[in-house]
């Protein structure tokens, strides 16, 4: 469908062709919208100024109404902006939590607020459901860094060595793998194979961090996250010098010298849990920017220092696009049947390991 300005007359006409007129949202901040969304604004008041709420609230109400009409569930990654994470998501989490919840979803439609590989994983685990992503251009530099043919070449170079594949990959790559992992279970997955050597793709830095936690020899690939690779040890040292009390916690996609400067390393959910458990007075989350806003909502006594690196792919997902997704049931995610079976098996092996 050619794209038209959301809320315009042309958009309303198109929406009325697929929904009864009474369900096509008006998208203005009326007293009714203010009343119905007041409890949600309370949740985000620490991170969204009151002057911005009237832009978000009509979309929040419309999305929540349409989720019921479409029997849809919204799965949102921890990097979503606070109005998505707190006001329209049914499930939030890191890649592993979202994959697990996708496997349990009993709605007819899954709207994946995250990047394309996450939506593909949901589709693998729910072949009979409609999986939508609000913007299919939401990619990932790690997923782009490797192809199925590259994995076949690695297997030829290292015969018999099992392949552990980070979920931040395409279904083609997963299909060539023995098992998947996420940053929250990577060490466990590597050790569960009982092998002396494993190939771990595609994130070089995650693999190097896992190598510091295990005796299994790890062969890796040169993929990097374009967001985490930009952090430097020097900038973290500068933060510590100016504020010696600050706690620094880093995602394992960061370069090794950045991880060396941190007090804790873990997946996005591991980082959230660390803040909950330790209640630091000041913390620096070395990861995507929106995480700090989302954790700040739950941690009123902690001050967040923000070196802001945004993931341009995650930031493609917005409230207007989620609404468009639910109205026009787009953009539907499909997986080539030739790779779906083996790719699903690699994801399921990981999920079953965690039960
Ligand atoms: P998590 O699994 O830790 O949420 O990481 C996903 C991701 O894309 C981080 O950049
Ligand atoms: Fe990919 Fe990095 Fe964005 Fe995560 S933050 S989706 S790893 S590019």
- Regarding the beta carbon of 251 and ligand 2, being less than 6 Å apart is answered no
Indicate whether 95 and 152 sit together in one domain.
no
Indicate whether 31 and 89 sit together in one domain.
yes
- Regarding the beta carbon of 185 and ligand 1, being less than 6 Å apart is answered no
pTM above 0.85, yes or no: yes
Indicate whether 183 and 290 sit together in one domain.
no
Q: Whose CA is nearest to atom 8 of ligand 2?
A: 140
| pLDDT for 1 | 46
Task: Please name which of 155, 220, 211, 223 lies closest in space to residue 187, comparing C-alpha atoms.
Answer: 211
Task: Please name which of 49, 64, 56 lies closest in space to residue 34, comparing C-alpha atoms.
Answer: 56
Q: Whose CA is nearest to atom 2 of ligand 2?
A: 225
State which residues form the domain around 275: 228-305
Q: Is residue 48 part of a domain?
A: yes
Q: Is residue 110 part of a domain?
A: yes
Indicate whether 97 and 14 sit together in one domain.
yes
Which ligand 1 atom is nearest residue 77's CA?
A: 4
239 annotated among ligand-binding-site residues: no
Which ligand 2 atom is nearest residue 288's CA?
A: 5
CA–CA separation, 129 and 124 (whole Å): 10
Question: What string of H, E and C letters represents the secondary structure of 127-140?
Answer: CCCEEECCCCCCCC
- 307 Cα–ligand 2 center, Å: 16
* Average pLDDT over the chain, rounded to an integer: 95
Q: Is residue 338 part of a domain?
A: no
| pLDDT for 63 | 98
The backbone torsions φ and ψ at residue 285, rounded to the nearest 5 degrees and listed phi first, read -90, 115
Residue 269 belongs to domain with CATH number: 3.40.50.10800
| pLDDT for 276 | 94
- Regarding the beta carbon of 227 and ligand 2, being less than 6 Å apart is answered yes
Q: What percent of the chain has pLDDT over 90?
A: 91
Q: Is residue 187 part of a domain?
A: yes
Q: Whose CA is nearest to atom 6 of ligand 2?
A: 140
Q: Whose CA is nearest to atom 8 of ligand 1?
A: 168
- Regarding the beta carbon of 314 and ligand 2, being less than 6 Å apart is answered yes
Which ligand 1 atom is nearest residue 142's CA?
A: 8
Q: Is residue 341 part of a domain?
A: no
Sign (positive or negative) of CA dihedral 175, 177, 180, 181: negative
- 146 Cα–ligand 2 center, Å: 14
Indicate whether 72 and 175 sit together in one domain.
no
Task: Please name which of 33, 37, 131, 118 lies closest in space to residue 83, comparing C-alpha atoms.
Answer: 37
Q: Is residue 355 part of a domain?
A: no
Structure tokens at 39: 């409890």
Q: What percent of the chain has pLDDT over 70?
A: 99
183 annotated among ligand-binding-site residues: yes
Which long-range contacts (C-beta less than 8 Å, at least 24 apart) are formed by 301-307? 302/275, 305/239, 305/243, 305/246, 307/231, 307/235, 307/239
80-115 pLDDT per residue, tens: 999 999 999 999 999 889 988 988 888 999 999 999
Domain count, the chain: 3
Q: Which residues of the chain have a pLDDT value below 70?
A: 1-2, 354-355
């Amino acid at each position: 469908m050619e794209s038209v300005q959301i809320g315009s007359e042309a958009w309303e006409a198109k929406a009325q062709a697929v929904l009864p007129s009474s369900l096509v949202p008006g998208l203005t901040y009326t007293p009714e919208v203010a009343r119905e969304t007041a409890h949600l604004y309370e949740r985000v008041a620490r991170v969204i100024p009151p002057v911005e709420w009237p832009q978000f609230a009509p979309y929040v109400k419309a999305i929540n109404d349409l989720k019921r009409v479409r029997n849809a569930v919204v799965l949102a990654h921890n990097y979503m902006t606070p109005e998505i994470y707190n006001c329209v998501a049914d499930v939030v989490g890191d890649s592993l939590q979202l994959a697990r919840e996708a496997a349990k979803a009993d709605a007819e439609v899954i709207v994946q607020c995250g990047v394309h590989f996450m939506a593909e994983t949901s589709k693998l685990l729910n072949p009979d459901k409609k999986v939508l992503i609000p913007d299919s251009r939401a990619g990932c530099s790690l997923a782009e860094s490797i192809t199925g043919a590259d994995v076949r070449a690695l297997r030829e170079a290292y015969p018999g060595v099992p392949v552990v594949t980070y979920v931040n990959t395409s279904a083609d790559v997963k299909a060539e793998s023995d098992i998947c992992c996420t940053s929250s279970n990577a060490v466990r997955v590597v050790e569960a194979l009982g092998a002396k050597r494993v190939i771990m793709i595609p994130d070089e830095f995650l693999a190097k961090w896992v190598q510091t936690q295990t005796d299994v020899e790890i062969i890796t690939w040169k993929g990097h996250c374009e967001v985490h690779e930009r952090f430097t040890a020097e900038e973290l040292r500068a933060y510590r010098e100016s504020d010696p009390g600050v706690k620094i916690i880093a995602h394992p996609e960061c370069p090794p010298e950045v991880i060396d400067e941190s007090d804790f390393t873990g997946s996005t959910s591991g980082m959230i849990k660390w803040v909950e458990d330790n209640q630091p007075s000041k913390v620096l989350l070395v990861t995507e920017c929106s995480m700090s806003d989302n954790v700040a909502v739950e941690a009123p006594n902690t001050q967040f220092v923000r070196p802001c690196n945004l993931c341009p792919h995650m930031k493609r997902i917005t409230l207007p696009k989620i609404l468009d997704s639910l109205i026009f049931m787009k953009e539907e995610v499909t997986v080539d049947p030739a790779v779906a079976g083996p790719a699903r098996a690699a994801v399921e092996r990981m999920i079953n390991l965690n039960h």
